[in-house]
Chains A and B, each alone.
Chain A
């Protein structure tokens, strides 16, 4: 089905992104997967051609484009090629909105130019060993000491955790708790007491560095407080539609890509004297998946249009996030089955797509949390 959400500029941008992903990233994936991390230089290279920092104002060295459809193009092209290595979407879709919305002028001048140029890599640290979706359970603390803040605690599952130069850390600044107890701080590489734990061994996404971070009396100057003291919880909430749509568009793009590859496989692989796709079971299954992925694409595109005009609600984003990522699970599972024994071999893209898909219904808010959001909005 023809997609109507993109215009000529987006299509031209897609050519650039696809070219970069194919030539500069895909060939390195095997090495990055073995190393458990991507080369940090790829950030600067990607920024040079416009894959990163396009949504940062021009005065800070960015592209000056505030239109989430460009974010979607990058997310889609990475997902379609299963190039999950460096956390580009984390930069574009999650970190950038925080800095643009919450940093003051001094901070913007300090942080945005190397962010936009890809020289500095960022991460965001919310999750803790004992705290996932229930952010109010965060135990990392920040205590004021003169003009500084002293941070203590541990974070885990942090994407870009090893490569990152600056990390947005969510910490509790009011021991009494409650929704006004949290504040965001930017912790920098080299600050005494800030150390990294393991690069975590994961089921999939092997080229993505995902780490534990430790904070042992880390002294952070007040100039690195992001946004307002006590407003961290609300600041986290305001950016959720972008993060969830980033995952939703990736889910549909990855589903479409692996499904198209599987359809091709079903046409060429023969068994019992005929292409396996011509058996009714395979044909119906492919028909069902193709239909559902098309339907998902239409819904996501509609949400994308709403997000590009800042009209998307967090409930709509939650709907898109859970449904598309659950669809992705079914698509990759059935595509492995259609590949038979080859589907289980890592040399086939479908095997990697299968494991790489699995986190999608978990990070950025689990399916169950998404349904809570949708359900609560129904007033039930």
Chain B
């Protein structure tokens, strides 16, 4: 089978599974109910190997790379699937980059879907950094973490946390620590209920993933993977919102004709479509770059440009979807708001497009400078 055929098969399989198990009514019921995520859907996805897609076969994964993991995430985004793949893949990417004993030990459990993992870091204009209020302390029995991280995506679903923080020596450190959703995690009410957020209190043992020398590379691997997966999710969200809007524009009649025949509607739908298609191409390129050359400046740039375009496209498409549906698009019953909130949630959570473009241009200028010195 060609790569395109493999991708088509994968997308088809996930789409069929989601059609049965993740219809909009199911998502709506979960989002408006007490549950934080869809654990039974997660088990079903685990059975078909979704959690292990980007991980190598030596760790029990599918060896499909970030390219296919991103394709799968687009399908999950399309259906607003309330499952923690973005966070999980970020942690997997970090562990693959670390290659340490600790990483080797945990990867198979994350690959099988047995354990869900999430990422706890601080945030600066340049991207992920050490969490502000967490300290790592070395005692006789090894490391332990103490402190609080106010917002961790997918924490309510997670049993393991990758934490970036400062050690009591003042070094940057990356640690794995087990958490208990019923004890140390305080679920937050989020704009987007399909991606649960939690505040996490840490006070227990931890294992160091990598020493200070590997820290930046490993943290960058996690961030790049999270951005690509979230961007793929946004392509799915934007594509589905565009599809909903176009379907409505074809069937809804006003002034004796389908509203889609008015230029104001058809041009807006065309803009939404073009934005999402561009994003899909950029995301595919960025995911491919992660597979080919994960540590390069070009990859860092490609990932950020893809994420910026994908988030912008998703926000524009989901807003357009609300507008094209008119008053109906403003009702709670209609799913338009769920797409809009998933897009706005992603934008606020990790991917302010302006910041990402600034990071990209900084990387461009930096690599130019190095070229001119060479």
A, B bound: yes
Stretch at the interface among A108-116, A183-191, A247-255, A279-287: A279-287
User: Digit string of A258-283 for contact with B (CB within 8 Å is 1, else 0)?
Assistant: 00000000000000000000011100
User: Digit string of A282-306 for contact with B (CB within 8 Å is 1, else 0)?
Assistant: 0010000000000000000000000
A281–chain B nearest beta-carbon distance, Å = 4
User: Digit string of B248-277 for contact with A (CB within 8 Å is 1, else 0)?
Assistant: 000000000000001110010000000000
- B-chain residues with CB within 8 Å of residue A279 when the two chains form the complex: 263
- B-chain residues with CB within 8 Å of residue A284 when the two chains form the complex: 263-264
- A-chain residues with CB within 8 Å of residue B264 when the two chains form the complex: 280-281, 284
User: Complex formed: what's the CA distance from A279 to B263 in Å?
Assistant: 7
B205–chain A nearest beta-carbon distance, Å = 46
- A-chain residues with CB within 8 Å of residue B262 when the two chains form the complex: 280
- B-chain residues with CB within 8 Å of residue A281 when the two chains form the complex: 263-264, 267
- A-chain residues with CB within 8 Å of residue B263 when the two chains form the complex: 279-281, 284
User: Complex formed: what's the CA distance from A280 to B267 in Å?
Assistant: 10
* Interface majority SS (helix, strand, loop, mixed), chain B: helix
Nearest B residue to A282, CB-CB: B263
A278–chain B nearest beta-carbon distance, Å = 11
User: Complex formed: what's the CA distance from A284 to B264 in Å?
Assistant: 8
User: Digit string of A342-355 for contact with B (CB within 8 Å is 1, else 0)?
Assistant: 00000000000000
User: Complex formed: what's the CA distance from A280 to B265 in Å?
Assistant: 10
User: Complex formed: what's the CA distance from A72 to B2 in Å?
Assistant: 70
User: Digit string of B263-295 for contact with A (CB within 8 Å is 1, else 0)?
Assistant: 110010000000000000000000000000000
User: Complex formed: what's the CA distance from A158 to B43 in Å?
Assistant: 75
User: Digit string of A309-327 for contact with B (CB within 8 Å is 1, else 0)?
Assistant: 0000000000000000000
- B-chain residues with CB within 8 Å of residue A280 when the two chains form the complex: 262-264
CB neighbors of B among A165-217 (8 A):
none
User: Complex formed: what's the CA distance from A280 to B262 in Å?
Assistant: 7
Nearest B residue to A279, CB-CB: B263
User: Digit string of B54-98 for contact with A (CB within 8 Å is 1, else 0)?
Assistant: 000000000000000000000000000000000000000000000
User: Complex formed: what's the CA distance from A39 to B202 in Å?
Assistant: 82
User: Complex formed: what's the CA distance from A59 to B263 in Å?
Assistant: 63
User: Complex formed: what's the CA distance from A130 to B267 in Å?
Assistant: 45
A271–chain B nearest beta-carbon distance, Å = 13
User: Complex formed: what's the CA distance from A322 to B233 in Å?
Assistant: 39
User: Complex formed: what's the CA distance from A279 to B267 in Å?
Assistant: 12
User: Complex formed: what's the CA distance from A284 to B267 in Å?
Assistant: 12
User: Complex formed: what's the CA distance from A284 to B265 in Å?
Assistant: 12
Nearest A residue to B264, CB-CB: A280
- A-chain residues with CB within 8 Å of residue B267 when the two chains form the complex: 281
User: Complex formed: what's the CA distance from A280 to B264 in Å?
Assistant: 6
User: Complex formed: what's the CA distance from A280 to B266 in Å?
Assistant: 10
B320–chain A nearest beta-carbon distance, Å = 15
Nearest A residue to B262, CB-CB: A280
User: Complex formed: what's the CA distance from A363 to B264 in Å?
Assistant: 36
A287–chain B nearest beta-carbon distance, Å = 11
User: Complex formed: what's the CA distance from A280 to B257 in Å?
Assistant: 14
User: Digit string of A323-367 for contact with B (CB within 8 Å is 1, else 0)?
Assistant: 000000000000000000000000000000000000000000000
A284–chain B nearest beta-carbon distance, Å = 6
User: Complex formed: what's the CA distance from A280 to B263 in Å?
Assistant: 5
User: Complex formed: what's the CA distance from A129 to B264 in Å?
Assistant: 47
User: Complex formed: what's the CA distance from A225 to B264 in Å?
Assistant: 61
User: Complex formed: what's the CA distance from A317 to B296 in Å?
Assistant: 48
User: Complex formed: what's the CA distance from A281 to B267 in Å?
Assistant: 8
B261–chain A nearest beta-carbon distance, Å = 9
B262, B263, B267, most chain A CB atoms within 10 A = B263
User: Complex formed: what's the CA distance from A214 to B263 in Å?
Assistant: 56
A40–chain B nearest beta-carbon distance, Å = 50
User: Complex formed: what's the CA distance from A224 to B262 in Å?
Assistant: 67
Nearest A residue to B261, CB-CB: A280
B106–chain A nearest beta-carbon distance, Å = 46
B185–chain A nearest beta-carbon distance, Å = 38
B269–chain A nearest beta-carbon distance, Å = 13
B253–chain A nearest beta-carbon distance, Å = 16
Nearest A residue to B265, CB-CB: A280
A110–chain B nearest beta-carbon distance, Å = 55
User: Complex formed: what's the CA distance from A225 to B349 in Å?
Assistant: 62
A117–chain B nearest beta-carbon distance, Å = 56
A286–chain B nearest beta-carbon distance, Å = 13
A43–chain B nearest beta-carbon distance, Å = 49
B16–chain A nearest beta-carbon distance, Å = 40
User: Complex formed: what's the CA distance from A280 to B260 in Å?
Assistant: 12
B302–chain A nearest beta-carbon distance, Å = 30
User: Complex formed: what's the CA distance from A266 to B267 in Å?
Assistant: 19
A266–chain B nearest beta-carbon distance, Å = 14
User: Complex formed: what's the CA distance from A279 to B264 in Å?
Assistant: 10
Nearest B residue to A284, CB-CB: B264
User: Complex formed: what's the CA distance from A284 to B263 in Å?
Assistant: 9
B258–chain A nearest beta-carbon distance, Å = 13
CB neighbors of A among B292-349 (8 A):
none
User: Complex formed: what's the CA distance from A74 to B264 in Å?
Assistant: 39
B252–chain A nearest beta-carbon distance, Å = 16
User: Complex formed: what's the CA distance from A116 to B338 in Å?
Assistant: 69
User: Digit string of B220-264 for contact with A (CB within 8 Å is 1, else 0)?
Assistant: 000000000000000000000000000000000000000000111
The 9 A-B pairs with the shortest beta carbon distances in the complex, nearest first, are A280-B263, A281-B263, A280-B264, A280-B262, A284-B264, A279-B263, A281-B267, A281-B264, A284-B263
Known: A280-B263, A281-B263, A281-B267. 6 other contacts (CB 8 A): A279-B263, A280-B262, A280-B264, A281-B264, A284-B263, A284-B264
Which B residues fall within an 8 A CB radius of A?
262-264, 267
Contacts A/B (CB < 8 Å), 9 sampled? A279-B263, A280-B262, A280-B263, A280-B264, A281-B263, A281-B264, A281-B267, A284-B263, A284-B264
